[in-house]
Each structure stands twice: as C-alpha cells, then as structure tokens.
Amino acid sequence: MASTLASTTSATNREAIYLALMSIPAGNVITYGQLATLAGLPGAARLAGTVLCGLPENTELPWHRVINAQGKISLPPDSAAYKKQWQRLQAEGVEIKNGKINLRIYGYNN
C-alpha cells in the first residue's frame, strides 16, 4: 500500500513528493531519486529537487533529510541552507564523514 503512496489520491505529483518526504523518519536520509520513487514517480528525481527548492522557509517538512545519490548535500557549500541542513542532520544523529553521508547506514529503505 505504501509502495505507491499518494498514487491512489488526486494529489498532484508535487504533493506526492510532500507526502513521501513526510514519511521519512528522523535519523534517516533519502536521495532525490528514492524520494521520487517513493512518491510514485520513478525517474523524476529532478522534480524532487525542484519541489524542495520551492519550499517555504517555515515549512515543517524534513527537507534536510534529502541528499543526492553521492551522499552529499546538493547545495552550494557556502549557502546558509547548506549549513542549516548539515546541522539538522547531525542533530538527528546522522554522522557526516568528510562531507559525505553513508547511505548504507542512514539511507531510508535500505
């Protein structure tokens, strides 16, 4: 049932991304591709990124748990959002080694 998540609703794909993101527990991270797949949109990793980029600053969605397939934060290292994401991840127990996160350990659905 949770395999397609939101695929049974009238939600737009953008909203499906929101729902999928909500299902990620603290202490875990997920890649854009997995997030899209979880939302029922395999291959639409780009949409995941586009959607997160449009999130308001006061959103409650755990956008910081989304990283790229390389286990790195897909944001300019000098941006404030980058640091904030980094800090939030560590606060949830995600250990970051040399700027990279071990998806084998912290990856969701892994």
Q: Which is nearer to DNA, 63 or 106 (CB)?
A: 63
| d(C-alpha 67, C-alpha 103), whole Å | 10
Binding site for DNA (CB under 7 A): 12-14, 31-33, 41, 43-55, 63-64, 66, 68-70, 73-75, 81, 85
In degrees to the nearest 10, what's the CA dihedral of 21, 82, 90, 2? 10
Q: Which is nearer to DNA, 23 or 107 (CB)?
A: 107
Q: Which is nearer to DNA, 28 or 31 (CB)?
A: 31
Smallest distance, Å, CB 13 to DNA? 3
Smallest distance, Å, CB 41 to DNA? 5
Smallest distance, Å, CB 2 to DNA? 19
Identify the burial level of 107 via C-beta atoms within 10 angstroms of its C-beta, where 0-12 means exposed, 13-18 middle and 19 or more buried: middle
Place of tokens 């586009």: 50
Q: Is 10 helix (H, G, I), strand (E, B) or coil?
A: coil
Smallest distance, Å, CB 73 to DNA? 7
